[in-house]
Amino acid sequence: MDIQKYPIKVTLHKRGEMIYFSQLDMVRILERALRRAGLPIYFTQGFNPHVKLSFLNGLKLGVDGSLEVVLYFTQKIEPDSVRQKLIPQLPEGLDIIGCEVKN
């Protein structure tokens, strides 16, 4: 049984103290924000499932800038809805500057 996944590309901007958080920390922050937002998250299959997300580009530690992440959902969801639900769950210094359906 394979669950369909629906990708949405989110562009985030790291600034302030968030620039000192590593890529692995960003994964944890996004996982927690997605869970708290109550979005229909897609989990990987297997013995130890985790939230499915993909970073399209990396950002060095200590650098202010933007990064793109593809988030996967189990249902079709509007990018604006994802944006509105995620913004209050993200820490200060991590802003959503773009959100679109990934083809």
Q: What is the pLDDT of residues 76-89, one digit of tens each?
A: 999 999 999 999 99
Q: What is the pLDDT of residues 13-72, one digit of tens each?
A: 999 999 999 999 999 999 999 999 999 999 998 899 999 999 998 888 999 999 999 999
CA distances from 18 to 29, 57, 62, 92 (A): 11, 17, 8, 8
Q: Which fold has domain 6-101?
A: Alpha-Beta Plaits (3.30.70)
Break the chain into its structural domains and give their ranges.
6-101
DSSP 73-90: ESS---HHHHHHHHGGGS
Give residue for tokens 């209050």. 88
